[in-house]
């Protein structure tokens, strides 16, 4: 089956829109199982010079449709002109289009030799490009990877401790590519096979959820949702202005921990909280002492550099019941254009994006701390979207994961729910309980199998009695990381090398043919 170019273009655009609609707040995850196949249909048999267009169109619409909140954040909190912020989202779409153009090109080139081989190799290409998206220098952004579309199917999520989220991306891409092959081949046998595979997946996704074991918690933490309004500016007397609210939050924290002893957690800093401020430091120590419990809180931590300058880090610090500070984790993976400006010399327009927030210094260690009962690891906000980095906490000995975040920057867009979705996958990949405390929602407790077992309403000030436990076992993914993704990359690189080698051989044969023809034409007659 061959499609004219305009039908291929429509398939590619439809593919990008379908995948975007699989994520919150559209919540049509079934479309993800069709999206990759649509792009494969657009690419198979396309002329190699034309094929990159279809992957480009896919990326061009996918990112703006599922990430419109980026423009809102830049406009509202970065003082960026609305047209410029919309243009930056468009640039993200352009960059994504360039990445995915290589997918449609590879599928088109392989399909010239074998359609079956092109459809077989497509999921390997797909995962390799998602892995590339994650690890691009400065701008790696694995938000809404394809595998997250499986979020509502508890049984299928149990693949995560083996392969990470990329295994689920592969599963979706493999199914969708095979569906494309069924359309192209028109084989009765392949039609029967896709029906059988579909039935098996439906059975596993529905009935299989009942076979996923439960987890029994033996501890309770108090996750305090501060619900401070997001602000671009923090006046010098912010603590005095909000002293009444801080007193309320202090009382809430202390009373909850006295009633049910357990760790107190405050979220990623939504205000100028720093232990270098005597007022806040005194309050933090008082919460720990009066409650008689450990207190984990998000702060801006100031340290002197080797050059004698003061450097700020986005951090989490733990105080013992005595008020002594015993643990600090400095956020390693900062938000580009939010917490620092990459390539600052060239991107001068971006200086406004961090002017009113901060320009942080990244940490270097995925540090593990100790609380009563076991060891824990803390990751902060945006770090939750990086699976290969977050699994290091469990690998380093963390028996509990704590994610503190300030999603107030996102407003009530799709971003907070998308962020929660990705954080939940980190719990399953490492098979750890995850306590997630945010400024204004979503504040939850997630068990090691991905169930949200306790949650607090959004946009309220309050605290959640969050059940949890410690686990010491290491999953395959926590131990070995992105082995599956690297396998896909190796297959892809091997294929590219083979294509280049074959092209070189074909070019050599062509040149030899031309030379032979010239010799034949030039010989004496």
The residues carrying an active-site annotation are 268, 331, 381
Query: Using CA atoms, how far apart are residues 440 and 417, in angstroms rounded to an integer?
Result: 12
Closest residue by Cα to residue 214 from 471, 453, 466, 444: 453
Cβ atoms 273, 298 nearer than 8 A: yes
Q: What is 366-435 written as a DSSP string? A: --EEEETTEEEEEEEGGGGG-HHHHHHHHHTT-SEEEEEE-GGGGTTSSHHHHHHHHHHHHHHHHT--EE
424: which 2 tokens? 């939940």
Coil/strand/helix, residue 230? coil
Nearest alpha-carbon partner for 466 in 254, 224, 296: 224
Instruction: Using alpha carbons, select from 258, 115, 101, 257 the residue that is nearest to residue 181.
Output: 115
Q: Is 77 helix (H, G, I), strand (E, B) or coil?
A: helix
The DSSP line for 3-61 is --HHHHHHHHHHHHHHHHTTSTTT--GGGHHHHHHHHHHHHTT--TTTTHHHHHHHHHH
Centre a 10 Å sphere on the Cβ of residue 158 and count the other Cβ atoms it contains. Answer: 19
Q: Which two tokens stand for residue 329?
A: 């984790």
Asked whether the beta carbons of 57 and 16 are under 8 A apart, the reply is: yes
Lookup: tokens for 170: 């592969």
The Cα–Cα gap between 449 and 210 comes to 12
User: DSSP secondary-structure letter at 211?
Assistant: G
Neighbouring CB atoms inside 10 A of 131's CB total 22
Positive/negative CA dihedral, 85, 86, 88, 92: positive
Candidates 426, 373, 380; CA nearest to 404 is: 380
Examine residue 226 and say whether the peptide bond preceding it is cis (omega within 30 degrees of 0).
no
Q: Are strands 264-265 and 295-304 parallel, antiparallel or unpaired?
A: parallel
In whole angstroms, what is the distance from residue 392 CA to residue 368 CA? 10
CB atoms within 10 A of CB 343: 11
- Beta-bridged to residue 219, according to DSSP, are 468
């Amino acid at each position: 089956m061959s499609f004219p170019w305009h039908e291929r273009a429509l398939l590619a655009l439809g593919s990008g829109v379908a995948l975007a609609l699989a994520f919150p707040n559209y919540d049509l995850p079934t479309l993800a199982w069709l999206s990759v196949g649509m792009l494969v249909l657009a690419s198979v048999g396309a002329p190699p010079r034309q094929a990159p267009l279809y992957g480009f169109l896919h990326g061009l619409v996918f990112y703006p449709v599922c990430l419109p909140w980026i423009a809102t954040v830049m406009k509202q909190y970065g003082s960026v002109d609305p047209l410029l912020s919309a243009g930056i989202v468009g640039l993200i779409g352009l960059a994504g289009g360039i990445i995915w153009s290589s997918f449609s090109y590879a599928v088109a080139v392989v399909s010239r030799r074998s359609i079956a081989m092109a459809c077989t190799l497509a999921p390997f290409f797909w995962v390799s490009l998602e892995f590339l998206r994650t690890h691009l220098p400065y701008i790696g952004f694995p938000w809404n990877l394809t595998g997250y579309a499986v979020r509502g199917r508890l049984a299928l999520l149990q693949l995560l401790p083996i392969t990470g989220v990329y295994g689920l991306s592969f599963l979706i891409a493999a199914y969708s590519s095979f569906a494309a092959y069924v359309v192209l081949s028109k084989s009765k046998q392949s039609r029967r096979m896709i029906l059988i595979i579909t039935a098996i997946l439906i059975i596993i996704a529905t009935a299989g959820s009942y076979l996923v074991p439960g987890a029994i918690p033996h501890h309770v933490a108090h996750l305090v949702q501060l619900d401070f309004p997001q602000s671009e500016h923090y006046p010098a007397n912010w603590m005095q202005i909000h002293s009444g609210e801080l007193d309320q939050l202090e009382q809430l924290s202390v009373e909850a921990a006295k009633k049910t002893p357990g760790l107190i957690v405050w979220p990623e800093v939504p205000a100028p909280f720093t232990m270098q401020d005597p007022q806040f430091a005194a309050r933090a120590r008082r919460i720990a002492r009066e409650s008689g419990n450990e207190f984990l809180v998000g702060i801006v931590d100031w340290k002197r550099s080797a050059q004698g300058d003061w450097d700020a880090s986005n951090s989490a610090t733990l105080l013992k019941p005595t008020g002594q500070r015993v643990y600090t984790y400095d956020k390693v993976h900062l938000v580009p254009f939010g917490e620092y400006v990459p390539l600052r010399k060239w991107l001068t327009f971006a200086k406004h994006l961090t002017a009113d927030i901060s320009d942080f210094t990244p940490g270097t260690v995925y540090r593990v701390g100790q609380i009563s009962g076991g060891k824990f690891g803390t990751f902060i906000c945006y770090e939750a979207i990086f699976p290969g980095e977050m699994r290091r906490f469990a690998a380093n000995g963390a028996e509990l994961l704590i994610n503190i975040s300030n999603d107030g920057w996102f407003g009530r867009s799709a971003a907070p729910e998308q962020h929660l979705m990705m954080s939940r996958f980190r719990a399953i990949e490492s098979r750890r309980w995850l306590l997630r405390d945010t400024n204004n929602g979503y504040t939850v407790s997630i068990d090691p199998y991905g169930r949200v077992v306790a949650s607090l309403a959004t946009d309220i000030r309050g605290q959640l009695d969050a059940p949890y436990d410690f686990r010491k076992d290491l999953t395959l993914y926590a131990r070995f990381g992105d082995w599956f993704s690297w396998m896909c990359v190796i297959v892809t690189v091997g294929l590219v090398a083979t294509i280049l080698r074959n092209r070189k051989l074909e070019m050599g044969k062509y040149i030899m043919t031309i030379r032979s023809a010239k010799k034949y034409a030039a010989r004496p007659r």
